[in-house]
Structures are given as C-alpha cells and as structure tokens.
Structure 1
Amino acid sequence: MGDLPLQRVTADFPFLSVGIDFAGHFLILNRKGRGAKTIKCYLCLFVCLRYKCIHLEAVSDLSKDAFIMTLRRFVARRGKPIDFFCDNGRNFVAAAKEIVSFLKYIAEPISDYAAQEGIKFNFSPSYAPHFGGIWEAGVKSAKHHIRRVMGNSYLTFEEISTLFAQIEAVLNSRPLCPLSSSPHDYLPLTPGHFLIGRPLRAIPVSESILANVNETQLSRYARVELIRKHFWQRWQREYLGELQQRVKWKTNMSKLNVNDLVLLQEDNTPPLSWRLGRVLRLFPGSDGISRVADISTTTGCVRRPLVRLCPIPTVDDLKAGKMLRLQEAPTK
C-alpha cells in the first residue's frame, strides 16, 4: 500500500481537492398523480479528499450538459476546487454500462471545461478501483443502502433530491475522532465541523406518524422520512463494523521488471484466451515502489495497475522454487 497523496494529508479548505463518482440508475416519477411515468436519474458523489466530507447531487440524465450543471451547482455551494479526481469508467460492472460509455464520451470535453475554469482533472488507471478507494467507499455507503431502503418506492426528482441531501447529512455526521482530550467532552469531530463549524443536526420528526402505519397509507413526505430512517438504521450498523481496525498490503509484492512477460487479468474474456504482454515501462511512486505499468500487447499498449498483472514465472524462478522446496523437505 502506497503513501497517501498530498491532497489527503495537507490541511486546507474543504472540497479543495475532490473525488467524483457516479452511481445509479434510480427509477423516479416524472410528476405526481395518476398517469405518471418512470424515468431514470443518477447519483453524482463528490467527496473531499482531506476531510471525507460527502456532497450528493441528483442528476437527471447522462449528458455532458447535465454533468456540467451538476459541477456548477457543486461549485456554487462548496466553492471552486483546484483538483478533480475520477476513474475513467473501465472498472464499472456490466449493470452500469451506460455510465461507462458516458464517462468515456465526456472525459475529454469535461477535461477541457475544467481546464478553462482553472481546475485540473486527474483520471486513475484502468481497472484500478482501489486508486479511488475514498470515493468508492462513499458510493458504497450511499448507493448500497439507498437501493434497499427505497425498494419499490418511486419518488419524484424533488423528493429524491431531498432524500440525497438528507443522506448526505447522515454521512457527514459520522464521528472521525475525539474533539478534545478532556475526559468530560463527549463530542466527536465529524465532517460536518469542517463544513458548518458545528455538528449537523436533523429536524425532529414525530415518530407517531411513522410507527405502526402501512407504508402505502403514508403521505409522500412521511414516506421520504421513513426511507431516511431506514437508511440511518442500516448504515449506522455498517459503520460501527467499519470502525474495527484492518490492515493489509504491508509487504511489497511487486517484483516486476521491464520486459517481463505478464498475464493481464481481464473481465469477460472468451474461453482459452490468455492476454499476455511485456512490461514496457514502470511508474514508481514517491516511495520508489511501482504500482502502475505500461504493457505492450499484440493489440497495442495498455496501462494497468500491478494488482491486475500476473507475472509468468521464469526458468530462474522455477529453479529457485525447486531448491526452496528441497531445503524445506523433511529429512528421512
């Protein structure tokens, strides 16, 4: 595991360096009342790389103009960032093919637009979702439970925008660390402190309108509040489990050299098809450890993270492995 980039560890204003990701689609109603039709909308997530603050926006469709308007709404509320970080759409699952093609289509126009506004757009390598773990975790926290708590409920665009804003407040209220070392201080530091200078609070809602009532008999406002309550119950339990410390990637396993033969891990490859290539170039990080490489294949040069490459053992590696097994073999 490499060191965190400077945007993650240097103190500065919130949302000065931002990670972006899309999630969806969600089915909503085009209007209230009878005869309403279901249409698609999408979730655009912005995460502050320094303080893990979350900003959620509902996007009506996957078009360049809709995305630029989403960026304008974000800048109007959170201020103009200097860095945007985003994956290039290659690591999405098949269910999000439309998002994949959309991100491929807008990559160059959005980069040009950001450059005109003085914003730098950074794209992570293909098939490397762990390069953007901070926004992938945000998408998981939001999308994973939104789909489950919404169920078959169809909200309007205004209602789902309100729901996203309330879920944003839930995610920004999570405790990060103690606010002080005083034994009598029970307040934690939250992402909301960096946004408004104090903890985020919700408008109290009477539990009597939500308890022991069939969901179909609730008003549309009460139904949105019930969805938010269910999201809070699910996400709170998950976040408590995530607070348990986990460690991984503590040893350097990359032993690739230029011209080594490697096998590329590709999704949905046809039977008996092994995509092989030679290491053309390694990209060492600030700590001297390479995590990305350019691979020369029969169809051209591709860039992949080392976690998606499997080195083919050489004759020397096989001999060394044989000698090690002989040394470890018990003597009779």
Structure 2
Amino acid sequence: MVTTAIHLELVTDLTTETFLAALRRFISLRGKCNKIHSDNGTNFIGAKRSLNEMQELLSSQRHKDIVTSTLAADGIQWVLIPPRAPHWGGKWESAVRCVKLHLPRVTGNSTLTFEQMRTLLAQISAVINSRPLCYTSDTENNYLSPAHFLIGRPLTTVPDPDLSHIPVGRLGYWQSIQAMLQGFWKKWHQEYLTTLQQRPKWTTSTPNPSIDDVVLVKESNTPPSSWHIARVMKTYPGKDNLVRAVKLKTPTGEMTRPITKIAVLPSSETVFQGGPGCS
C-alpha cells in the first residue's frame, strides 16, 4: 500500500474456485499476507458481460462465505470496502488504471492466447514495478523502486530490438507480444514522467532544482524498465532567478537539459509517504 507495487493475475473464468486458485498462486509467489482489502460487488457497474459476472460473483453471499472461511483458516482477514464507495479503493484502482488505460491501445483487435496474455501481463507488471520512488545512496542504482521491496533489487527485462517500425503482419508469434510491451512502455512511461513534472499555477511557487539533486531524465526511445538517473551539477537561472536549464552528470557523461525534461526524485531521508505512484 505504501509503494503501490502491482501484481496482475490472469484467470480463465469468474468463479469462486478460480478466484481462490489465483489467490493461492499469489500467496505462493509473494508470501502470505495478514489482511486483504478488496472491492465490494456493488462497485462494479457496467453493461459488459464480464463486469456483470464480476458483480454477481463478488456480491454473492456464498462466494463471500467460502472466501472468508478459507482465508480465516490461514489467518488472513478479508476486508470489503463499503458498497457504493469505490473511492475507498482508489489506492489500488489508480495502480490498476495504469494497465487498463494503455493495454487495449497496444493490443488493439489482436486475439491473444492464454500464454501470450499471461506473458504480456507479467512483463507489464515488471515495467510498472520498476519505476523509481525516491533517491537513496544505499543501493547500487541510487534509487528505490517497488521491485526492491518485492525481490530486493531492481527488475530488468530481456533486451529486444526495437519492433515499432515492423508491420504487425510481419511479426512472429512472440515478437508481437514484445512489440505490445514496447508500445505499452512508450505510452505509459511518458505519461508517468509527465505526472512527476506537473506545474501548478503561478499562485504557488515551486522550488528550483538545486545542485546535487537526483533527477529522472525524460528521454525517448529507451528500452522497457530503463530509467535515466542523473545528478544536477550546475543550474542556469533566468533574470527572475528561476532555473530554466540544468547541467547533468550521468553514468555515461554530462548533458544539459531544460527543466521540462527532468523530474526531481524525493530523497529517502525525507518523510516518505508513498512517493510517486500510478495516477
């Protein structure tokens, strides 16, 4: 709940038994939790058949009784948010929105097999969990991500060539999945960096970047799960004393960028209340 790490699980149908099987897979991978928060069935309102089935499943008293008794046997408390209050689940809904917004855009009208879809969701989870939360000097990469709290180190992906220029009809069985992953990365990570660069109206002042600040550099054509981390070496203020550009030091050299192309990372030594998430 603090780091907003995301785990995507693909299921074949919307039944209580399949739900419990997915939960067992989650616990086997991530470990047993003490408490689970979830939506209430009445929060799912829509015309689509899948949403109606989900609503019927979660609002079923039999489903609630079976899940509650199964979790209670393992010492897990299941907490349902109140009916008609979807904003109570905003913490996890904002993270799931990262996927729901861009996944249909990259898959389009393609029909994926179960194995293809499961592979794509697993890679998308890794991409989202690789995002930097804050700067720290205690790790090799000088930043903490949700992956550090899951596996103790940053998540990486297998290098693949850029497939964006190849027509979809010429892509192989697995190449099409990697092309979808690259498309998701390009759309999502640019949007994520934009949320870190929000400029409030001039009635509220924003602190200038200062020397030794650690920043994320907004670059195009970067591979999935690749984040450009740099340190501010020099600032270039204007006549109004507002910094317009900065000189950066990266692991490969030095560069100068306008402040519109950087986002300052918070330090882990400051009060950390969740850091940047998926909004």
- Aligned equivalent of 1:128: 85
Q: 3-state SS of the aligned residue for 2:174? A: helix
Offset from partner CA, 1:113-171 (integer Å, 9 cap, x none): 11111100001111212211111012101111111111111111011111110000011
- Aligned equivalent of 1:79: 31
- Aligned equivalent of 1:113: 70
Q: CA deviation at 1:242?
A: 2.6
Measure, in 1, the Cα distance between the counterparts of 2:42 and 2:3. Answer: 27
172, 176, 179: which one aligns with 2:136: 179
Offset from partner CA, 1:180-203 (integer Å, 9 cap, x none): 399xx8632100111121111110
Residue segments in structure 2 that go unaligned for 5+ positions in a row: 201-279
Residue segments in structure 1 that go unaligned for 5+ positions in a row: 1-48, 248-332
User: Residue type matched to 1:202 in 2?
Assistant: T
Cα distance change of structure 1 residues 78 and 181 upon mapping to structure 2, 3 Å threshold: closer
Does 2:195 align with 1:238? no
- Aligned equivalent of 2:269: none
Q: Report which structure shows greater RCO (CA 8 Å, sep ≥6).
A: 2
Q: 3-state SS of the aligned residue for 1:57? A: coil
Q: Please tell me whether the aligned partners of residues 89 and 101 of structure 1 are also in contact (alpha carbons under 8 angstroms).
A: yes
Measure, in 1, the Cα distance between the counterparts of 2:194 and 2:44. Answer: 26
User: Residue type matched to 1:200 in 2?
Assistant: L
Measure, in 2, the Cα distance between the counterparts of 1:97 and 1:165. Answer: 26
Q: 3-state SS of the aligned residue for 1:213? A: coil
Measure, in 1, the Cα distance between the counterparts of 2:156 and 2:121. Answer: 16
Matches of residues 83-232 of structure 1 in structure 2 within 5 Å? 83-94=35-46, 95=48, 96-105=51-60, 106-180=63-137, 187-207=142-162, 210-232=163-185
User: Residue type matched to 1:69 in 2?
Assistant: A
Q: CA deviation at 1:220?
A: 1.2
Aligned pairs, number: 195
Two-structure CA RMSD over aligned residues (Å):
2.1
Measure, in 2, the Cα distance between the counterparts of 1:176 and 1:119. Answer: 29
Measure, in 2, the Cα distance between the counterparts of 1:187 and 1:159. Answer: 34
Measure, in 2, the Cα distance between the counterparts of 1:198 and 1:51. Answer: 14
Q: Please tell me whether the aligned partners of residues 88 and 107 of structure 1 are also in contact (alpha carbons under 8 angstroms).
A: no
Q: Please tell me whether the aligned partners of residues 3 and 133 of structure 2 are also in contact (alpha carbons under 8 angstroms).
A: no
Q: CA deviation at 1:221?
A: 0.4
Q: 3-state SS of the aligned residue for 2:56? A: helix
Measure, in 2, the Cα distance between the counterparts of 1:148 and 1:212. Answer: 17
Measure, in 1, the Cα distance between the counterparts of 2:21 and 2:145. Answer: 29
Cα distance change of structure 1 residues 151 and 193 upon mapping to structure 2, 3 Å threshold: same
Q: 3-state SS of the aligned residue for 1:220? A: coil
Q: Please tell me whether the aligned partners of residues 175 and 189 of structure 1 are also in contact (alpha carbons under 8 angstroms).
A: yes
Q: Please tell me whether the aligned partners of residues 6 and 96 of structure 2 are also in contact (alpha carbons under 8 angstroms).
A: no
- Aligned equivalent of 2:9: 57
Q: 3-state SS of the aligned residue for 2:131? A: coil
User: Residue type matched to 2:25 in 1?
Assistant: R
Measure, in 2, the Cα distance between the counterparts of 1:126 and 1:244. Answer: 35
Larger Rg: 1
Q: What is the TM-score with the length of structure 2 in the denominator?
A: 0.66
Measure, in 1, the Cα distance between the counterparts of 2:94 and 2:184. Answer: 16
Measure, in 2, the Cα distance between the counterparts of 1:181 and 1:79. Answer: 25
Q: CA deviation at 1:211?
A: 4.3
Q: CA deviation at 1:54?
A: 1.2
Cα distance change of structure 1 residues 245 and 129 upon mapping to structure 2, 3 Å threshold: farther
Q: 3-state SS of the aligned residue for 1:202? A: coil
- Aligned residues: percent identity? 42
Cα distance change of structure 1 residues 205 and 121 upon mapping to structure 2, 3 Å threshold: same
Cα distance change of structure 1 residues 177 and 122 upon mapping to structure 2, 3 Å threshold: same
Measure, in 1, the Cα distance between the counterparts of 2:137 and 2:58. Answer: 43
